Amino acid sequence: GWDKHSYGYHGDDGHSFCSSGTGQPYGPTFTTGDVIGCCVNLINNTCFYTKNGHSLGKFVFLPSQSNLYPTVGLQTPGEIVDANFGQQPFVFDIEDYMREWRAKIQSTIKRFPIGDRLGEWQAMLQNMVSSYLVHHGYCSTATAFARVTDTTIQEEQTSIKNRQRIQKLVLAGRVGEAIEATQQLYPGLLEHNPNLLFMLKCRQFVEMVNGTDSEVRCFSARSPRSQDSYPGSPSLSPRHGSSNSHVHSTGADSPTCSNGVLSTKSKQSHSKYPTLSSSSSSSSSSSPSSVNYSESNSTDSTKSQQHSSTSNQETSDSEMEMEAEHYPNGVLENSSTRIMNGTYKHEEILQTDESSMEDSCPQRQLCGGNHAATERMIQFGRELQILSEQLCREYGKNTMHKKMLQDAFSLLAYSDPWNCPVGQQLDPIQREPVCAALNSAILESQNLPKQPPLMLALGQASECLRLMARVGLGSCSFARVDDYLH
Amino acid sequence: LQEVTASSRHYVDRLFDLDPQKVLQGVIDMKNAVIGNNKQKANLIVLGAVPRLLYLLQQETSSTELRTECAVVLGSLAMGTENNVKSLLDCHIIPALLQGLLSPDLKFIEACLRCLRTIFISPVTPEDLLYTDATVISHLMALLSRSRYTQEYICQIFSHCCKGPDHQTILFNHGAVQNIAHLLVSTSYKVRMQALKCFSVLAFENPQVSMTLVNVSVDGELLPQIFVKMLQRDKPIEMQLTSAKCLTSMCRAGAIRTDDPCIVLKTLPCLVRMCSKDRLLEERVEGAETLAYLIETDVELQRMASITDHLIVMLADYFKYPSSVSAITDIKRLDHDLKHAHELRQAAFKLYASLGANDEDIRKKIIETENMMDRIVNGLSESSIKVRLAAVRCLHSLSRSVQQLRTSFQDHAVWKPLMKVLQNAPNEILVVASSTLCNLLLEFSPSKEPILESGAIELLCSLTQSENLALRVNGIWALMNMAFQAEQKIKSDILRGLSTEQLFQLLSDSDVNVLMKTLGLLRNLLSTRPHIDHIMSTHGKQIMQAVTLILEGEHNIEVKEQTLCILANIADGTTAKELIMTNDDILQKIKYYMSHSNAKLQLAAMFCISNLIWNEEEGSQERQDKLRDMGIVDILHKLSQSSDPNLCDK
């Protein structure tokens, strides 16, 4: 406690020293056998010591830039000190102390004045919900919500339905059709977003390997749709070099982040996916969750855009928050329409999906095990390679593109692509970031926000907490966003 | 008045309508009219609405709906001023409502209970009204199972009407503990809280209830564990404080050990927190009082409390109300402060008294707190009896320190206000004040002189005549301390002030303590040879009589020992000796005690003999001869072979 930025409690006189050679009378003296503890409270910048589990009284603690390190000074040789950093229960009931502060912070939040003027607050909340539903294409739910709350939806019905259709295609792994539909409904969009297009095509390649893309499925016995009219890869000649849209950053900006998220999620989906082929009822039950994931990842992209370097812990934070994100949905809309809606749309797609899989390949095989399909895939791969080179010439080297391409092609190097180091790409979960990127790009092209305000608010709150943590404002640790998402 | 009430009259008029449906609508309209409107409530009472409402409520022919609405309106009227409640009580509302509880209709019962609750929590309602009919309590216990509202209201009624051991016993005998215990885990916060309050009043200073509580369990959890959970720091303050009170009562009753972690690490720290500046004034008062009670008799708890969160310094803040800023800036705040200032001060004094009861270091810390002695001295002369009493208790606690008696007590002339407190004070203050005086009269105390000069002897002598036992003990105790190694004049003054009759009165007192202290006084009076001879020359006859009486009477060993010691002192006198030597009866008694089975009595008797036969004095030979004739030498021989301390003789 004598040195600058140091604090101490002396056993010989019971004085407390705060960065000064002269101490203040503080507590009792202590000696062999006593348990001395120290608690630093970064919320109100106080500190107190404990003796044998009793708090001895707080004093002001000035936070310093430098870190604090626990130190024990000994006077006589041969003395022994046991240090407990929580590996054993503390004598002082620190849990109870934290409970008090958690309650304090939460009541501060709860009592925060919102300044409601003539239902402004409610209108804003309704808008948040409505825009969220619209963004993700929950068309019927959004309409029902608008009717009940007597609000209007900005975007046109058909536009929402179009987006919904494209999203469904991507999520079903039919990326080729999605690209086609996008080009039909939003001409010029992909031409202006070469990076997005490249990403879609990479995904399409992966889906070909998977055997789900229509270009390879058309070779199998029973195809749900004819794919004759597929025009092949469109010739790309973007006139204005559209700058890096958020789409790109989504894919590769923060590998740690998405990895962290996905590792847990893929576990879940792995366990769910095989059941898809066994019965259609289970597939319908699992599909809503896949919708949720798609939402999650779209936010994830939001996140990773905002801060590229995130630590593991933060990742897990955002993950929690993402997972919980679908709850407000369920809570806020009081009709069951949304659930029906979500279930229905996936059922439709996944069922056809699944029936073709059942027919052609009881076990997973490259391109569904069809030789012609494999040929088509390889040809598509070449086109993709050409596209990559073309982009490289026009816009310069893009490491992210290179990585995407490399990963996709690596699948071919293994006899069982589903069980290989890069096999994760084949996971349907991976369709979600692609889907979200495409959805955002479409919305942006319609002069609509690329993210729903709800997600923006969430992201803002999370980022705010992260900033608070960085500058050492302790209250952030008791105000986790996920505490409020259920 | 007419003008004011005119607008309310039609409400009352409608209660007399012949059509029951219109009456019902009238009551409902009245209900809506009085909510939150004290003026309207007063008007309706003046216009005589209450008897009519009660009539309708009791009428068997009234519909349940009407009766319920009547109870609701009456409850609303009771929510108003204290005068409203008085008017309702004058109309005998309580029996009417209690009668209503027998109805089968739950809604009506709830309305009656709600109204009863409002009336019983009013300070103007005598709580005894609940206990006039024995069947009421058992019926209320039965209603506890009906709904969360009956639970809440009944618990609230109980906790407000349970004052003192009689009420506690009645409720306890009606199974209150079993009936209310499971409400502690109710899903409704209000029910949990009211149940908890019930237990805190049931267990307060009641060992029977406390000992029962400790073994009761709800859903497999013992009540102490449930109370500890309610102590958690994120629980509402009211809940923490009330459960701490329950645990405190249980600890004081011996149901929970004082070194149990739930006391040491939970209850005590919780109560210390309640004393902090962050809490409301009421909470701080209650926290300090409860803590004072918890640690009152246990030095380890006192030590722990004294180091927790700078409690001793924290308590000094209790004296800073009303604070100087509040007077100017905020009248409301000033009013609030003033209202609580007395309560705060007395609570702080009480807690200081408990803290300093046993440990010298803690006393030192307390006295070193800013202006502490001045505060006590001021407290002694406050108008509020509660504050004076608490201040005296605090002073008493601190007066147990030899060092403080010599220093700070002297510096602040504490004896002056203390002597003042002793004049015409109520008994409860006199007991503690005289007890403090005892300590101030110890021979090493520098206050002894001035206290004597200010007429203490007279005061103390009058205390010995008190009806109050504690006052008699303290009076004679103080005199005993005063007489210890005192000068001749003081001793004579004491004897004169007390009078021999009073002395004999005290020697035949039914209380052993009084007897012991009186003997102690005699012994202190009879010390140093000239004093002995002087006193024995004037009061010898009576004293010898008294001694004989006690030695013959049925008394315990300590009393007899003390009496023999007095004899030994008398035997030490020059002329006084003869009073023993010429009294064969006494000599026989001494002889008897020399062969008594109790070693202490033997030793005391030996002192007598040894003083009587001391060689260097005149006439010792004759006395030795006489004693030898009595066969005492034989006994001495026997004794010299048995135990050690007796060997020094002969």
* Three-class DSSP labels, B223-247: HHHHHHHHCCCCCCHHHHHHHHHHH
Which residues on neighbouring strands pair with residue A24, listed in sequence order? A16
Interface test with A, best of B231, B271, B308, B312 (most A CBs within 10 A): B308
Q: Model confidence over B313-352: pLDDT tens digits? A: 999 999 988 776 655 667 777 777 888 899 999 999 999 9
A345 and A161 in contact (C-beta within 8 Å)? no
Alpha-carbon gap: B148 to the closest alpha carbon of chain A (Å): 27
Do A99 and B233 lie within an 8 Å CB cutoff? Answer: yes
When the pLDDT of each residue in chain B is averaged and rounded to a whole number, the result is 87
Query: Which three-class secondary structure string do you get for B68-126?
Result: HHHHHHHHHHHCCCHHHHHHHHHCCHHHHHHHHCCCCCHHHHHHHHHHHHHHHCCCCCC
Query: Cβ atoms within 10 A of the Cβ of A477, count?
Result: 16
Give the span between the Cα atoms of B478 and B517, in whole angstroms.
9
Q: What is the DSSP letter of B262?
A: I
Q: Place A159 in a pLDDT band, splitting at 50, 70 and 90.
A: confident
Q: Which residues of B touch A51 (CB under 8 A)?
A: 307
pLDDT: which is higher, A330 or A482: A482
Q: Which pLDDT value is given to residue B612? A: 76
Alpha-carbon gap: A96 to the closest alpha carbon of chain B (Å): 6
Phi, psi of A203 (to 5 degrees): -65, -40
B17 and B26 in contact (C-beta within 8 Å)? yes
Q: Which pLDDT value is given to residue B501? A: 81
Which residues on neighbouring strands pair with residue A48, listed in sequence order? A39, A58
Element (H, E) at B621: helix B620-629
Parse chain B into domains and list their residue ranges. Answer: 550-649
When the pLDDT of each residue in chain A is averaged and rounded to a whole number, the result is 72
Do B308 and A57 lie within an 8 Å CB cutoff? Answer: yes
Look up the CATH number of domain A7-111.
2.60.120.920
Tokens in use for A308? 């590229």
Out of A56, A93, A99, the one facing B309 most closely (by C-beta) is: A56
B73 and B53 in contact (C-beta within 8 Å)? yes
Q: Which of B531, B517, B530, B570 is nearest to B547 (CA)?
A: B570
Tokens in use for B316? 């000094």
- Whether residue A328 is predicted with pLDDT greater than 70 in this model: the reply is no
Q: Which pLDDT value is given to residue B617? A: 64
**Rounded average pLDDT over A311-334:** 40
Do A55 and B308 lie within an 8 Å CB cutoff? Answer: yes
Query: Cβ atoms within 10 A of the Cβ of A334, count?
Result: 12
A452 and A131 in contact (C-beta within 8 Å)? yes
Do A96 and B233 lie within an 8 Å CB cutoff? Answer: yes
Q: Which residue has the tokens 């022919």?
A: B61
Q: Which residues of A touch B264 (CB under 8 A)?
A: 53
Q: Which residues of A touch B265 (CB under 8 A)?
A: 53-54, 91, 93
Distance of CA B231 to the CA centre of its chain: 26
Q: Which residues of B touch A57 (CB under 8 A)?
A: 308-310, 313
Q: Which residues of A touch B269 (CB under 8 A)?
A: 54-55
**Rounded average pLDDT over A242-255:** 37
Q: Which of A77, A82, A86, A89 is nearest to A34 (CA)?
A: A82
Q: Which of A337, A341, A356 is nearest to A172 (CA)?
A: A356
Alpha-carbon gap: B234 to the closest alpha carbon of chain A (Å): 4
A256 and A312 in contact (C-beta within 8 Å)? yes
Do A55 and B266 lie within an 8 Å CB cutoff? Answer: no
Tell whether B147 is within 8 A of chain A (Cβ): no
Query: Cβ atoms within 10 A of the Cβ of A485, count?
Result: 17
- B 218-247: CB under 8 A from A: 232-234
- Whether residue A356 is predicted with pLDDT greater than 80 in this model: the reply is no
User: b or e along B334-345 (b: 16 or more beta carbons within 10 Å of the residue's beta carbon)?
Assistant: bebbeebbbbbb
Q: Place A358 in a pLDDT band, splitting at 50, 70 and 90.
A: very low
Q: Which of B165, B77, B91 is nearest to B122 (CA)?
A: B77
Interface test with B, best of A96, A99, A105 (most B CBs within 10 A): A96
Q: Which pLDDT value is given to residue B141? A: 95
**Bond into B322 cis (ω within 30):** yes
User: b or e along B350-377 (b: 16 or more beta carbons within 10 Å of the residue's beta carbon)?
Assistant: bbbbbbbbbbeebbbbbbeeeebbebbb
Q: Which residues of B touch A53 (CB under 8 A)?
A: 264-265
The amino acid at B193: M
Q: Which residues contact B241 (CB under 8 A, 6 or more apart)?
A: B270, B271, B274, B283, B286, B287, B290
Out of B234, B264, B266, the one facing A103 most closely (by C-beta) is: B234
Q: Model confidence over A185-201: pLDDT tens digits? A: 888 888 888 889 999 98
Q: Which pLDDT value is given to residue B4? A: 60
Q: Which residues contact A196 (CB under 8 A, 6 or more apart)?
A: A190, A245, A247, A248, A437, A438, A441
The nearest alpha carbon in chain A to B272 belongs to A55
pLDDT: which is higher, A337 or A57: A57
- Whether residue A361 is predicted with pLDDT greater than 80 in this model: the reply is no
Chains A, B: CB contacts within 8 A come to 37
Query: Cβ atoms within 10 A of the Cβ of A400, count?
Result: 18
Out of B233, B234, B307, the one facing A54 most closely (by C-beta) is: B307
Q: Place A287 in a pLDDT band, splitting at 50, 70 and 90.
A: very low
Query: Cβ atoms within 10 A of the Cβ of A308, count?
Result: 12
Q: Which residues of B touch A97 (CB under 8 A)?
A: 233
Of A208-217, A292-301, A407-416, B59-68, the range with the lowest mean pLDDT is A292-301
Tell whether A241 is within 8 A of chain B (Cβ): no
Interface test with B, best of A16, A35, A55, A105 (most B CBs within 10 A): A55
Q: Place A301 in a pLDDT band, splitting at 50, 70 and 90.
A: very low
The nearest alpha carbon in chain A to B262 belongs to A93
Q: Which residues of B touch A48 (CB under 8 A)?
A: 309
Alpha-carbon gap: B227 to the closest alpha carbon of chain A (Å): 15
Domain B550-649 has CATH 1.25.10.10: yes
Do B232 and A57 lie within an 8 Å CB cutoff? Answer: no
In this structure, are strands A36-41 and A46-51 parallel, antiparallel, or unpaired?
antiparallel
Give the span between the Cα atoms of B221 and A9, in whole angstroms.
40
Interface test with A, best of B231, B237, B265, B279 (most A CBs within 10 A): B265
Do A28 and B310 lie within an 8 Å CB cutoff? Answer: no
Which residues on neighbouring strands pair with residue A7, listed in sequence order? A18
Of A351-355, A378-382, A418-422, B635-639, the range with the lowest mean pLDDT is A351-355
Q: Which residues of A touch B309 (CB under 8 A)?
A: 48, 55-58
Tell whether A15 is within 8 A of chain B (Cβ): no
3-state secondary structure of A67: coil
Give the span between the Cα atoms of B601 and B555, in whole angstroms.
13
Strand ranges for A44-183 from DSSP E: 46-51, 54-60
Q: Which of B638, B641, B637, B642 is nearest to B650 (CA)?
A: B637
Q: Which pLDDT value is given to residue A323? A: 39
Distance of CA B625 to the CA centre of its chain: 59
3-state secondary structure of B144: coil
Q: Which pLDDT value is given to residue A331? A: 39
- Is residue B52 packed enough to be buried (19+ CB in 10 Å), middle (13-18) or exposed (0-12)? middle
Out of B232, B269, B313, the one facing A55 most closely (by C-beta) is: B269
The amino acid at A218: C
Q: Model confidence over A88-98: pLDDT tens digits? A: 999 999 999 99
Parse chain A into domains and list their residue ranges. Answer: 7-111, 156-220+366-447
- Which region holds residue A352: left if phi is over 0, alpha if psi is between -120 and 50, else beta? alpha
Q: Which pLDDT value is given to residue B639? A: 67
Tell whether B368 is within 8 A of chain A (Cβ): no
Q: Which of B160, B166, B170 is nearest to B200 (CA)?
A: B160
Q: Which residues of A touch B308 (CB under 8 A)?
A: 54-57
Which stretches of chain B drop beneath a pLDDT of 70? 1-5, 324-329, 443, 615-619, 637-650
CB-based contacts of A282-289 (< 8 A; 24+ apart in sequence): A283/A346, A283/A347, A283/A350, A283/A351, A283/A354, A284/A343, A284/A346, A284/A347, A284/A350, A285/A343, A287/A342, A287/A343, A287/A346, A287/A347, A287/A350, A288/A339, A288/A342, A288/A343, A288/A346
B99 and B55 in contact (C-beta within 8 Å)? no
